[in-house]
Structure formats: C-alpha cells, structure tokens
Amino acid sequence: MQLLPIVWSLRSKLVGQLRETYHEAVITIVDYDAGNPTSVQRALAAVGAPSRISPDPDQVRHADRVIFPGVGHAGSAMAVLEKRGLDQALREAFARGTPILGVCVGAQLSLTRSEEGDTACLGIVPGLVRRFPALPAELKVPHMGWNRIEPCGPEHALLQDLPEQNEFYFVHSYYLEPSDASCVLATSVHGLRFAAAFARANLAAVQFHPEKSGPLGLALLERFTRWSPTC
C-alpha cells in the first residue's frame, strides 16, 4: 500500500516537471466561510500550483480554474454563497467552461438539493444529497476516516490508472446521489455504496478531501491543474 500511491502519483517527478512548465494560470479557491481553504492552498503549493483564496464573485466568475471546497451545514453554506453572489458566479463559471473541482460540501452543493435542512443547492448537476440511514453500531455517522474508492464507468483524467489499493480521507454525514448514474466516476462503501466522485462536463466533484489524503490526494489535485475537459 505504501508504494502504490507513490507509483501512481509519481509526485517528485511531476512536481519537478510542473515547476519547469507550469503556466501562470492561478487557481481560485472559493471562500465562503465553510471550512479551511488554506489547507487546499497548501496542498496546491505542494504540487507547484499558484492559487488565491477569494470571496469575490468576480474573481470566481472569471477564474482560470476553480476549487470549491467546504465543510459544515448545507443551509448555512448556501446562505453565505447567496449573500456574496458566489452562487451565481459559480453557475456562470461552469457555463463558461471553467474547470471546477468541488470538494466535500462543495461537491454536495453542486447538486440540486440536500436533505440537510431541505436546502436548495446550486443545481449545476441534477441530483440529491442524502443523509446516511441508521447503520450498525460499528459504523459511525459522521463517516470519518480512510476509505478505498472504486472507479466505475468511463475512465476520467482525474482518476486515470488509480491503483486498486487506494485510500482517501472522508468526513461526512450526507452522501452524493447524482440523478444520472453515468456521471459517477467512483464509489465507496460505508454501510451502503455511495458516489465518491462524479463529473459533468467541466465540473468534477469528490466527497473525500484530496488535500488531506496524502500522496494520492496531491496527485489528484495536480491532475486537476492540467485537466482539459473535453465533454
């Protein structure tokens, strides 16, 4: 297990190449008081990618790339997005074809509605955010810890050649359920099988935290810096 993430990520080689060839595009990390965007920025710095943390809808709207992270309550998070005009800025960035990566609550808010407070979300991708049902006593909610993900459907650039023996870090009480199962990139299991990642056009979203997932998470973020959506 220890060697596989290193083989998949080829971190040292990729970072060296990235520092030599990386263009000046800056990744905008959406700041809406939901989580710690600084941890995402540090992870991007580790792979040589310049970034800025911004609550400014104009910067999000016109960004080269966007990471939409988050933790916390869906209703509170949507209220801040709407107050700052970031909800519409994210929709416009998506419509412009800007590559966007949603992380955890950011992934959830990309869907249509959340069962957490019966919250209307951004609706960029049709789907629901479901609460975990009652599970056996040994399976805690929130689900916190390392889980393997299983790629499914057509291979996606962000998960290409992911080793079977992998682990990513999850912290969540609700899970992703896109309406179109064909957009699910990977699943995981915690009492039930749920979508761990999905993508539609220029938006990719993951329920886990790549910035907290060691070499595999850094490799995924590095792949995002080079991802050119084609569909």
Query: Among 102, 96, 120, which Cα is nearest to 34's?
Result: 102
Active site residue 156: no
Q: From the candidates 143, 156, 172, 209, give the one annotated as an active-site residue.
A: 209
DSSP H or E segment with residue 171: strand 168-172
Active site residue 23: no
> How far is residue 29's CA from residue 219's CA, in Å, rounded to a whole number?
18
Q: From the candidates 121, 156, 190, 211, give the one annotated as an active-site residue.
A: 211
Alpha helices in the chain (DSSP H): 3-9, 11-21, 37-46, 57-61, 74-84, 86-95, 105-109, 214-226
Q: Is 30 helix (H, G, I), strand (E, B) or coil?
A: strand
Could you report how far apart the first and last alpha carbons of the chain are, in Å? 33
Q: Is 78 helix (H, G, I), strand (E, B) or coil?
A: helix
What CA dihedral angle connects 36, 41, 42 and 48, to 10 degrees?
A: 170
* Burial class of residue 43, CB neighbours in 10 A (0-12, 13-18, 19+): buried
Q: Provide the pairing of β-strand 65-68 with 51-54.
A: unpaired
Active site residue 104: yes
Sign of the four-CA dihedral 107, 28, 44, 225: positive
Q: From the candidates 104, 167, 183, 190, give the one annotated as an active-site residue.
A: 104
Amino acid at 121: C
- Which sequence positions are flagged as catalytic? 104, 209, 211
